[in-house]
Amino acid sequence: MVMKKKKSSKSKITKTVKKKTVAKKSTRKVAPKAKNISKIVAPAMDEDHSVLKEALKDIARELGQLREEKEDLEGTLDSIAMDITTTQNEEVQLKDQVRKLNSVESALALKRSRLRTKLEGIKTKIQKVRQLSAKMESL
């Protein structure tokens, strides 16, 4: 038994007694431990393990093949992506060339129209000169 002394607010000493608890013995029956049956099950377990090992080997082999296929596909994809990029760059260059050719064509069309206008002017001048020369010959 354990005794504790407590002081109260009025300075009196009081005693507290705690009872000792005792664990009761269980009356419930415990199941007997299982006997070691690994000797009996061992051959069957070995067969299961070998089947599982073979299955794991097959899975590992397939996984390796899939990884190789993935790498091949990624390489092909990278190649195609590079080809697409090259084609897009060529497209941009060709568009630039077309723009330049269009601007040159526009400049040439403008130049042609100016030259036609000048040519018409020269033709009218030549016609006037011929008329004047014809008048002078008649005089």
Whether 78 is in a domain gets the answer yes
Q: Is 37 helix (H, G, I), strand (E, B) or coil?
A: coil
The whole model's pTM is what? 0.47
Residues spanned by the domain of 72: 42-110
Whether 62 is in a domain gets the answer yes
Residue 48 confidence (pLDDT): 76
Give the count of domains, the chain: 1
* Cα radius of gyration rounded to whole Å, the chain: 55
The one-letter amino acid code at 29 reads: K
pLDDT at residue 57 is higher than 70: yes
Whether 1 is in a domain gets the answer no
Distance from C-alpha of 44 to C-alpha of 52, rounded to nearest angstrom: 12
Whether 63 is in a domain gets the answer yes
Whether 15 is in a domain gets the answer no
The residues facing 4 across adjacent strands are 16
DSSP letters spanning 43-66: HHHHHHHHHHHHHHHHHHHHHHHH
Residue 46 confidence (pLDDT): 75
Residue carrying the six token digits 């040159």: 104
Phi/psi of residue 2, nearest 5 degrees:
-115, 135
Percent of the chain with pLDDT over 90: 60
Whether 135 is in a domain gets the answer no
pLDDT digits over 64-91, tens only? 999 999 999 999 999 999 999 999 999 9
Whether 92 is in a domain gets the answer yes
Whether 73 is in a domain gets the answer yes
The dihedral sign for the CA sequence 110, 114, 116, 117: positive
Yes or no: say if 15 and 1 are a contact pair by the CB < 8 Å rule. Answer: no
